[in-house]
Structure 1
Amino acid sequence: MAARSRYRLVERLIPILMITPSIIAIAVFVYGFIGWTTVVSVSRWQGIVPDLSFAGFRNYAALLTSYRFQSDIRNTIVFTVFFLIGSLSIGLLLAVLLDSKVRGESFFRTVYLFPMALSFVVTGTVWQWLFTPGAPGQPTGLNLLFEQIGLPVFQTWSTVSHVWPGGGWKPEWLRVPFGVPLAMIPVIIAAIWQMSGFTMAMYLAGLRAIPDELREAARVDGASEWQVFRWITFPLLQPVTLSAVIVLGHISLKIFDLIMTQTGGGPGFATDVPGIFMYETTFKSNKYAEGAAVAIVMLLMVSVLIVPYLIWRLRTETER
């Protein structure tokens, strides 16, 4: 009996010992650093020498009234909305086309997924070359292609800080006009190009998981292909859509490398985002308290998206 008890104890301890290093690492390098960043964000640390004296929410108040930070929030909202719509729409379209049993499906699937194998740094660099407008009379990149096929040449790719529509909607408490910065459009196109293959793969897996009997039964009842997609296929893809929105939304809210390499946040603050603001404030200006405040705001933005999803998944798994 004693030997059996020791054996059972060892069986219980082994899993605990296996996951203990991971728990410690997460506690220190995730939650510990989040706590440390929170402490710094309410301090007076400005400069190399640490100053953790309590400053209240002064740093957060300064952010909310900052022209640059308000521009960053506007740019993040614009980027997220168009990035999600474009990636989901193109990904779904490509998945539907591939699911129709076209010839060379493996080839096309590889082509669509290839951009995802690149880092955002590479994507930003390449699309920066493509969107370089060139000098008047000497177009380069896409402008050269447009000139050769007889389309208008744009001399303003990523070079103007204009917000459309002109003036934009601007309440009294907002220092920046709310609209679409034209310089953000090339960044959105580059991001969609890279991530639409990811959504294609997710939607394709979802389509292949739908039983053919359901669609065949609807066709037998006289439903058109559009009606089959609208009332059967698309509703069954809602969990895939939700998962894709969470992943893409998480990427868009903390985007840094793509914009840093493609535009550097310019011109002006037309493509600036909180990630770039946090980097420059912390590591270039040595304003650690303000940089930590930006980081906490970014964490809250991501939490608003992720936490409800995690709660929903937990409830769904509990009900099962």
Structure 2
Amino acid sequence: MHGRIRTWGPGALVLLPTVLLLGYFVYGLIAWSFNTSLTNRHTARKGPADYVGFENYGHLFSEDRFLNSLKNLGVLTVAFIVGTLVFGLLWALLLEKGVPGESIFRSIYLFPMAISMIASGVVWGWLLNPSTGDDARGLNRLFEILHLHFLENPWWTAGSRWTTMASIALPAVWQMSGYIMALFLAGFRGIPPELREAARVDGASEFKLYRHVLFPQLSPIALSALIILGHISLKLFDLIYAITGPNQFRTEVPAILMWNTLLRSDQAKAAAIGIVMLAVVAVLVIPYLAWTVRQETEE
């Protein structure tokens, strides 16, 4: 018994502060939010609140504004994931073939990741809508020179949902494509050269080599990238806030709606929106974690 304590004790003491902090600030606050979502605390009043069960969730899914935010999030997620995977894979293919100055290109592709979403959102907001704000007069002149008069009005006030949310996704695609490129490039470099040589000896063309040999080897990486990007798309609050502000119905997603609801001191409704977002994340992440554990167990 004492031997086990000497073996596990120091490690447990080192991990204990992290476990306590994680338990309180993550799981404790999740439990508090879920508990609040079951009450009628729709104001900032103090004192105990009455429990109403899942009434707040029922109201949410019958509310047009919340359903609109879910649709916006779905379109944003699809546009973001597809765009990032396409550009990331394309850049990885170009670098995997070998180009002079590869390290320079890798740095250029990865550089946008060093920029915060807020800074990126402000700049892209100017580029996508240069006619708003006193700070954009220089951009107005630039776009006039380039004859880009179609950007004179706010782009989020017209056009379809796909056009609007794809425009929102564009800065995020620009920032995250380098990361996906690094994942795919590492996957390409990790494939044994013998597989390529064996395929070429068997007479496989370059297209068939990638289609039937290399790309199947990248499927675990593609799945990981899909989960990561899906998770990130749910957290693009700062980017949307910086580009369009918090009060644009056409670009509102659940995170923005939760923020606006909390500012109105409707704590129960805001907590319910947060729990719905957590459930969406769980739907994405838990199957992936279960698949990963099963793969590791089989190996």
Contact 2:129 2:151 in 1 (8 A): no
1:32 Cα deviation after fit: 1.1
The CA distance in 2 between the partners of 1:228 and 1:271, in whole Å, is 42
Q: Deviation per CA, 1:182-202, whole angstroms, max 9, x where unpaired?
A: 322321111100110110010
The alignment-based identity, stated in percent, is 43
CA RMSD of aligned residues (A): 2.2
* 1:158-187 Cα deviation digits (max 9, x unpaired): 331543xxxxxxxxxxxxxxxx34322321
Superposition deviation, residue 49 in structure 1: 1.5
Q: 1:275 aligns with which of 235, 242, 255?
A: 255
The answer to whether residue 274 in structure 2 is matched with residue 295 in structure 1 is yes
Corresponding residue for residue 116 of structure 2: 119
Paired residue for 1:209? 190
Shift of 1:127: 0.2
User: How far did 1:254 drift?
Assistant: 2.7
Q: CA deviation at 1:21?
A: 2.0
Structure 2: gaps of 5 or more residues: none
Going from structure 1 to structure 2, the CA distance change for 1:308 and 1:143 (only over 3 Å counts) comes to: farther
Offset at residue 133 of structure 1 (A): 4.5
Cα 1:141–1:131 shift into 2, 3 Å: farther
Residue pair 2:156, 2:251 contacting (<8 A) in 1 also: no
Q: Mean alpha-carbon deviation: is it higher for 258-267 or for 39-48?
A: 258-267
Query: Which of the two has greater strand per residue?
Result: 1
When you count helix as a share of all residues, which structure comes out higher? 2
3-state DSSP of counterpart to 2:150: coil
Secondary structure at the counterpart of residue 52 of structure 2 = coil
TM-score with structure 1 setting the length: 0.86
| Distance in 2 of aligned mates of 1:255 and 1:245 | 16
Matched, 1:14 2:14: no
Q: TM-score, length-normalised on structure 2?
A: 0.92
1:312 counterpart residue number: 291
Deviation of 1:213 (Å): 1.5
Segment of structure 1 superposing worse, 27-36 or 192-201: 27-36
Q: How many residues of Structure 1 are paired with residues of Structure 2 in the alignment?
A: 295
Q: 2:45 aligns with which of 26, 49, 57?
A: 49
Specify the code of the residue in structure 1 equivalent to 2:20.
Answer: I
> Take 1:45 and 1:278, find their aligned partners in 2: how far apart are those partners?
15
